[in-house]
Structure 1
């Protein structure tokens, strides 16, 4: 190995470990459900994005198996050559129906979506107003576009209006976009889309909502844009198929013209092999389940409210969460890591989230209850939280 590279890696890994910022990966020995097995030990799982439990749904497994038998394990090419199967077309029709738009395009991941869609429309002649707590994939997608990125204070509509006015009246930019998470993944709060739309109309902003943590969760499952009834007002509805949907992939939903443009100008669509047939078939099935019934959605919210109330009663700081995502904000990074480790030793898997995922000094354990958890599991988890929280002086 290069001496320079070796010195860089050794020094920086040591520094991360000393600061409590090094992330240890714990491989699962089985499915990612309400309970998981790590190192031979069964744990209550509060760290999964599998909100509705669909990642382990038996009917979706059968759909995936049947698709593999019919189409094979891979699509075999990029979408624009001959990697587009009739399944991909069905998926995109289902996504447009799900999101209430004219059309949709699917990608290999949610991260790919943001890298693809932002840079396909925005360029160095443009500006992007971006909420300061937006997901890393949004930040990277904005950077890739070459547009001027203007950070907007989190959920601050006065700051958004002022910066929108300045950007649009400066004469420096051809187009201006405002981009926001629909549900902010670290805090669980919901974007103020009604006011966003009012400001966007005033200044002719392009609107882009990343609803990775909203699809399947808000709007009775249809997402945050649907929650506010703004399907006709938001230009880009982006989401992932790997969280509440339970499979893998991402999508953008919007007008037919927008989707036609993304199919000829978004680079991951043009240069990456299409999503596998089994995944596409399972995704179509998952979307149908969500569209047919709110049973899983309702159970998710019931469990989320129950856990949230229990943690608040114990004295934990859960921030301003408005969704089942429930952080326990600890602050100091090493203490957050220690708290997570002790929870795991006591039978609860809740991963510590520290810088750079959240700001320094805002370390936390993020809880992700799902529709698959039982009240008994949540009660047991709360008992462990009380024990460990008092042991470490986090609660009294």
Structure 2
């Protein structure tokens, strides 16, 4: 008889081996966190692994926004939004975000993950979702939870997407789903081409702006603003640029109202806690009034990427997400450990975060980093590589990616990534 827990042993054995050789990169405990610096194992390290791109999670105004909401409404709503979980600030944030994103309406979710899971409600029998292979796991799970079909196209390969669309029953409902800014390689989707293709094929377009809302575009509205495209629906999270937690879906009012009343991840979950709402409201005000934060972090990320390329590291993208490709799981974890020993905390990313062969060290800068800290990160990479017995086999930068040449990120364009090359 097969034991459903049998698969656990292999995972446990692998994790134990990583811990023995000090290359277990998951769940690193931060004893303290002070903006771009954290305390790990009793010593200060440069925090280069956070998605807090604008540094707002520790901004006193955002912290006070959370505290003020907690004092007025408490720590939790203790109920679903459609029941007793909607307060005045929940509705205020929804209305403010709808205006910010240029949409008719918006609805909050307890997390960005649950905002994307809400899309499953749109996928009935006879419908098909077409998803970029590099999409976030929450979009993958939304497709799996829906009753419709699920087709995945090679990353950024619109020719492949077209063939999949053309091979599908023309009478089925079609939904194209993509990240705006991809979370691992830092490249962006080609939204104008996706929008044109959606129009030709009678499909709807949904864009997850988790990593770009608040960051890209003259007003911080994300990749759709940069590329001048209005998707049928936008999803996003507050756990990146907004320094809080929670999610949002924004679009036409009737679509948003349908999700508000039917999406299981919204209807059957406790509402976003008031402190998180208060923090997100304060962050939105800062994002709208202080574009220099976006300018600063984009400039720092360009400095980091150029410094790494000058030292021969292979990297990509032109956003605060700076991937350094290692292309081997064991080497990736060893590089993570060496960097931590050198005083820099990054993320080691292996399958299923990226395809096998696409392993990378993910570095992220924030508006709170200094130029000196960015240079220190580059120097740490050089020292860490020198410690590796396989350093001669490290991938080197053999091509350049488009650079940010305007401080609002308006030069960002879609480009084939390393993952696209592997899958192609």
For the aligned pair, the TM-score class normalised by the smaller chain equals: over 0.9
Q: Give the Cα separation in 2 of the matches to 1:177 and 1:58.
A: 41
Partner of 1:183: 181
**TM-score, normalisation: structure 2:** 0.88
Kept in 2, the 8 Å contact 1:180–1:209? The answer is yes
Q: Give the Cα separation in 1 of the matches to 2:192 and 2:287.
A: 25
Partner of 2:343: 347
**TM-score, normalisation: structure 1:** 0.94
Q: Aligned-pair distance for 1:252?
A: 0.6
Q: Give the Cα separation in 2 of the matches to 1:146 and 1:304.
A: 41
Aligned: 1:113 with 2:110: no
Q: Which consecutive unaligned segments of at least 5 residues does structure 1 have?
A: none
Counterpart pick for 1:204 among 199, 202, 205 = 202
Q: How many corresponding residue pairs? A: 388
Q: Give the Cα separation in 2 of the matches to 1:15 and 1:43.
A: 27
Partner of 1:141: 142
**Cα–Cα, structure 1 residues 383 and 291, in superposed 2: closer, same or farther, change >3 Å?**
same
Counterpart pick for 2:305 among 291, 308, 314 = 308
Identify which range, 237-246 or 212-221, moves more after superposition: 212-221
Q: Aligned-pair distance for 1:64?
A: 1.3
Q: Considering only aligned residues, what root-mean-square deviation do their CA atoms show, in Å? A: 1.9
Q: Give the Cα separation in 2 of the matches to 1:295 and 1:15.
A: 45
Partner of 1:73: 75
Counterpart pick for 1:240 among 233, 237, 241 = 237
Counterpart pick for 1:262 among 249, 259, 264 = 259
Kept in 1, the 8 Å contact 2:235–2:249? The answer is yes
Kept in 2, the 8 Å contact 1:31–1:56? The answer is no
Q: Aligned-pair distance for 1:214?
A: 1.0
Aligned: 1:35 with 2:48: no
Q: Aligned-pair distance for 1:16?
A: 5.4
Residues 312-331 of structure 1: matches in 2 within 5 Å?
Answer: 312-319=309-316, 321-331=317-327
Q: Aligned-pair distance for 1:18?
A: 5.5
Q: Aligned-pair distance for 1:153?
A: 1.4
Q: Give the Cα separation in 2 of the matches to 1:341 and 1:15.
A: 16
Q: 1:90-126, CA deviations, whole angstroms, 9 ceiling, x for partnerless residues?
A: 000111111111110110001101111x111112211
Q: Which secondary structure does the structure 2 equivalent of 1:187 belong to?
A: coil
Q: Which secondary structure does the structure 1 equivalent of 2:129 belong to?
A: strand
Counterpart pick for 1:335 among 331, 338, 354 = 331
Partner of 1:10: 9
Q: Aligned-pair distance for 1:224?
A: 0.8
Kept in 2, the 8 Å contact 1:32–1:48? The answer is no
Partner of 1:25: 27
Partner of 1:90: 92
Kept in 1, the 8 Å contact 2:24–2:333? The answer is no
Partner of 2:378: 382
Q: Which consecutive unaligned segments of at least 5 residues does structure 2 have?
A: 397-424
Q: Give the Cα separation in 1 of the matches to 2:15 and 2:214.
A: 35
**Cα–Cα, structure 1 residues 162 and 10, in superposed 2: closer, same or farther, change >3 Å?**
closer
Q: Give the Cα separation in 1 of the matches to 2:255 and 2:42.
A: 49
Q: Give the Cα separation in 2 of the matches to 1:22 and 1:375.
A: 29
Q: Aligned-pair distance for 1:5?
A: 6.2
**Cα–Cα, structure 1 residues 32 and 212, in superposed 2: closer, same or farther, change >3 Å?**
farther
Q: 1:336-364, CA deviations, whole angstroms, 9 ceiling, x for partnerless residues?
A: 00000010011010121111111112111
Q: Give the Cα separation in 1 of the matches to 2:347 and 2:158.
A: 32
Q: Give the Cα separation in 1 of the matches to 2:341 and 2:157.
A: 40
Kept in 2, the 8 Å contact 1:32–1:55? The answer is no
Q: Give the Cα separation in 2 of the matches to 1:30 and 1:102.
A: 41
Q: Aligned-pair distance for 1:24?
A: 2.8
Partner of 1:296: 293
Identify which range, 378-387 or 82-91, moves more after superposition: 378-387
Kept in 1, the 8 Å contact 2:328–2:359? The answer is yes
Partner of 2:352: 356
Q: Give the Cα separation in 1 of the matches to 2:47 and 2:102.
A: 33
Q: 1:295-322, CA deviations, whole angstroms, 9 ceiling, x for partnerless residues?
A: 1110010110000000000100103x13
Q: Aligned-pair distance for 1:130?
A: 0.7
Q: Give the Cα separation in 2 of the matches to 1:160 and 1:341.
A: 39
Identify which range, 13-22 or 61-70, moves more after superposition: 13-22
